Amino acid sequence: MAAEPSVTRAGALAFRIARHHLLERVADAETAAVVGLQDTPPGSAGVALAARAAVAPDALERLVLVPSVRGAPLAVAPRDLAVFTAGLAPPDERAARALIAPRPGRSRPSARSRRSTA
């Protein structure tokens, strides 16, 4: 029987710091965003990118903002969109309607009332 792996607190933290590119800055935004750069509050993804990559601020424009599974927006590389969004799609139309339906006690304005207030 194989021995159980031993993970220390220091080892786990070292792994996370390295994987999040906080130990050594990388050369491009796409690599820096491999774990997703949270953009809450708005604009903080730029700060996260600056901490991880030796790039100009406009490099953030090469990333795409997507909602995370917890709802916070993440800046990710376009090549990684499937990784970050596959679990967000509702499995069927019923589930999709549940996501966009008005909440109990809240009514959605009708098209007529939206036009009259515009």
- Residues 79 and 31 sit within 8 Å (Cβ to Cβ): no
pLDDT in tens, 92-112: 888 888 777 766 665 544 444
- Residues 52 and 21 sit within 8 Å (Cβ to Cβ): yes
- Residues 55 and 47 sit within 8 Å (Cβ to Cβ): no
- Residues 44 and 38 sit within 8 Å (Cβ to Cβ): yes
* Amino acid 115: pLDDT: 42
Sequence length of the chain is 118
Q: Where are the domains of the chain?
A: 16-101
pTM: 0.67
User: In degrees rounded to 5, what are phi and psi of residue 51?
Assistant: -75, -20
User: In degrees rounded to 5, what are phi and psi of residue 38?
Assistant: -65, 135
